[in-house]
Structures are given as C-alpha cells and as structure tokens.
Chain A
C-alpha cells in the first residue's frame, strides 16, 4: 500500500484534550483500514500566520506528523472528517515518495 503523511495542526488545548483529539484521529484512520506507522510531535509553537477555522482565530498550535499506510480510496473520507473536527486547525495529507538517490547530483563524484 502506498505511504502517506498527515501534517496535523491542532489548536492550543490542555494536554488531556490534545491526547483525546489525537486518539480520535488515529482511531478514525485505523477504522478505515489504515496502518499507522509513526506518530511524531513537532511541539507547540506560534503559527507562522493567524489561521481562521471553525469561526475561531488561532495564533498558537501543536504540530503532529502521522505516517501511515493506506488505500488511496479512503483518503477523501479521512480529509473530510478532519476538516469537520473542531479541534483540528489545518490537516494536510501528503504522499511519501521513495528517496531519490543523491548520487547523480552535481558535484565531485566520489
């Protein structure tokens, strides 16, 4: 199955609520048949620009990165669910490509 990456920005909340939101997201993914491979926390920081979502203006947020394997047909449903979640400020789904070897880059050949 192809590999995807979900860059999730959650709104500024207390720790138990953030944990609950994450749990909800991962459970949604697993219900639809995804295989979650990795979950990284990139920390809570100030957003680069103020984002408006669900009638709220956000200036701080917590960044998470979810790596998972999934079938392409379920992605639209997942994204729709994430857009409707009140705690999620910005969900972005990306496909993870295999690393292009840097051997044929310019520069001295080793």
Chain B
C-alpha cells in the first residue's frame, strides 16, 4: 500500500512541524472531512432484516458499532499529544487526512522518507511499527498508540 503516492511532495525546511503553504501543496484535500460515525444513521427497523431478537441484540451491543477506539497521538518533539478515535475512520487514507488537519502537516505512511513525517504505531507487543503494512481491520486490533516521527535531515 503506497499511501504516500496520494500526497504531493514538498520541501520541508525545518526540523519541527511546518505548515505547507497552500500554493505549494497540490494535494486536493477536502476540508470538510466527514467522519462516518457522524453521518446520520438510519433508524434501525425492528423487523428487517429478518433475524431473531437474540442476534439483533448481540449485533447492537457490538464494540464495533457504537463504541470507539481512542488512541494517543504524539508528534515527535511535541510533548503534548492528542487523542483520536480510530473507529471514526474507514481506512488509512481517512486517518491520514485527519492527521493532516490535526497537525497541519503532511504525513505519510508505508515507507520511510527523509522529507516527510512518517506515521508509526505501537502494537500490542510494545513494538514500534510502520503504519500501513497490515489490513486496516487487523491494525485496529493491534494498535495501542500513534507517533508521528520527524523527517530525518542530513
């Protein structure tokens, strides 16, 4: 998965996070980001689809439907972190879009790049991994927190 392809490249001139000036960025990111969980949900019918009450109750009580998965997100070099509900996103792309708005900087995942901030995560085992290698579903099960690493400069 090459998520970095969807972001344009631009030069970052300082160590800390920079705002890309709108004229430099050619990425067309919609500012009205919609989270799936905030779209109005249809009133669930009690008689369709035709499943028994016990299954209906089980599905209503699912973690996935109504609850959330809040993880801490740190930008390297910035002591105060943010919190993000990963269940609000449908996949890596929407996560990155949201992080762009949250941190005002382009973030990539999937490969290390000396110029851009790279998204990493801490998994269940305590290891720090590159975001983007595993399917989104699996990622949600194993992610504990996120860290945005600074671009390396040499």
A binds B: no
Which A positions have Cβ atoms within 8 angstroms of B?
A: none
